Structure 1
Amino acid sequence: MDRLHLMTVFVAVAEEESFVGGARRLGMSPPAVTRAIAALEDRLRLKLLDRSTRHVRVTEAGQRYLDDARRIIAEVDEADEAAAGINAAPRGHLSVTAPVLFGRMYVMPGIVEYLQRYPDTEVSTVFVDRVTNLLEEGLDVGVRIGELPDSSLRAIAVGHVRRVICVAPAYLERHGLPRTPEELARHTIISATGSSAAPEWRFLRDGTAQSLRLKSRLTVNSNDAAIEAARLGLGVIRLLSYQAAPALEKGDLQRVLAEYEMPPLPIHIVHRDSRHGSARIRAFIDLMAARLRAEPALNCASQA
């Protein structure tokens, strides 16, 4: 069998963690997929997949081969697109990652527009509140909030957000307005998404960053849940400004201690470097960058 075809089958099975799922993705029969994997393992003289009645997992050798196979397939696809011409219509599969709430609020509408505009494309998403490794996880494009570490990724700036302190008007009526960061120690604190029971919040005072460790009364692993608890008047929450924007606009939450906020955090679209560039990646980045730059909630660098 063609080696590139075998690689493609292996990547599909590994990513779906299922022979049936890989077959469905490729439009092949499960027996044909099984034969392809067997032929690839025979060619390499390596066991690439561990099979059980419930799961399919890549072996250690299989993980290394998976990373290389993804890169090779991507380069072949990009070479085909380059040969077809710079104006070729986007086609093929695109994988996108972003933070969970940001992905739902801002990336998913862009993905829907992209799929409607380019009918020969497919998109898969990884919306998680952690920094993903695009190369190791086989992802094409990501959205990053915060300063970027040095890397081989290309980055396009699309906006800024701030960390803001918010409370519900009903909470303020009962407990009063905190006027300095230190006064937060007397208030009920809500922490979201991976925060410890004693989160460390940073503030800017006279041009100097200061940290304040606070004890949370409620800690949740979902920004949506934390926002709901704050909206219902439980306590004080720290959010990224885009997360708070809908509730602030409705008046469900109120921003406090704005004069102590840290400098804004940049938002970037990042993608893997490429010799040829990909029509599907270029088109998606252009569309998404235009949408994000037009969002008022994502361009708050100058707001107090």
Structure 2
Amino acid sequence: MSFGRLHIARAIPEFLSQFPDLKVDITLDDASVDLVQGGYNLAIRIADLPDSSLVARLLAPSRRVVCGSPGYFRRRGVPQRPDDLRLHDCLSYRYLATTGSWPFKKGQKTWNIPVIGSLSANNGDVLLAAAAAGTGLVLVPTFMVEQQLRSGALRPVLTTYSDSGFSIYAVYPHRRHVIAKVRAFVDCFAERFGPAPYWDEALSMARGPEEN
């Protein structure tokens, strides 16, 4: 839901101004839905997509970063490498298949770090609020944490490591001819987000955990 609230909703007015004859009906839900049974024209999915009967159009990459509040780092210290996360309170997103571990990669080396924490939730905004309050660390998509990184409420760590990564796709059922309104919607958002999405700028500008 967070991507829809933060980025799709922000772009809808511009899309409707370009296509004033279209009507948009949006449902926000973190759970995967059956497009055909639900009567949906398309969905936005952030995942490593399995093979399916759906057509998938890449809209943007989705990088994840470990973040915590300045107060948390003063109290618990700053992890310098993925293995250090075993000693930290790591807040988990329940819908991920890897809820109990966080994956990282650097060069040819990979880690799959078991993590534990005081809070898990099926909503990323709950985890972000807890992290900003100093409860623990979160592994969160950069599209969710743009404003917190810009303000300094959350600080990134382990930025020289990457996680396994997901991508943001528009998916829609196979049809002989793609419905014009679906093509217009997908083209608009693919152009708006792209291979270097605007929200990643906040990560490059973010202060480190020990900076004032």
TM-score normalized by the length of structure 2: 0.82
Give the Å deviation of 1:137.
1.9
User: 1:170 touches 1:233 (CA, 8 Å); kept in 2?
Assistant: yes
Instruction: Give the counterpart of 1:202 among 103, 127, 131.
Output: 103
2:199 is matched with 297
Shift in Å, 1:177? 0.7
- Tell me by how many angstroms 1:192 deviates: 2.9
Q: 1 CA distance for matches of 2:201 and 2:62? A: 6
Match of residue 221 from structure 1: 122
Corresponding residue number in structure 2 for 1:167: 68
- Kindly report which structure 2 residues correspond to 1:96-111, keeping only aligned pairs within 5 A, or say none: 100-111=1-12
Deviation, 1:188, is 1.9
Q: Across the two proteins, how many residue pairs are aligned to each other? A: 201
Question: Structure 2 CA distance, aligned partners of 1:112 and 1:231?
Answer: 30
CA contact (8 A) 2:63 2:142 kept: yes
Contact kept, 8 Å, 2:88 with 2:136, in 1: the verdict is: yes
More contact order relative to length (CA 8 Å, sep ≥ 6) = 2
CA contact (8 A) 2:146 2:200 kept: no
Instruction: Return structure 1 stretches of 4+ with deviation > 6 angstroms.
Output: none
Amino acid at match of 1:131: S
Amino acid corresponding to residue 252 of structure 1 in structure 2: A
Give the AA of the match of 2:28. F
Q: Which amino acid aligns with 1:281?
A: V
Flag structure 2 segments of 5+ consecutive residues without an equivalent.
205-212
Distance 2:93 2:178 in 1: 38
Q: Once the two structures are aligned, what percentage of the paired residues are identical?
A: 31
CA gap of 1:262–1:195, structure 2 versus 1, over 3 A, is closer
Q: For residue 281 of structure 1, give the secondary structure of its aligned residue in structure 2.
A: helix
2: CA distance between counterparts of 1:165 and 1:158? 23
Shift of 1:253: 0.9
The structure having more radius of gyration, on CA atoms, is: 1
Q: 2:167 aligns with which of 266, 280, 295?
A: 266
Query: CA-atom RMSD, angstroms?
Result: 2.5
What is the 5 A alignment of 1:77-88? none
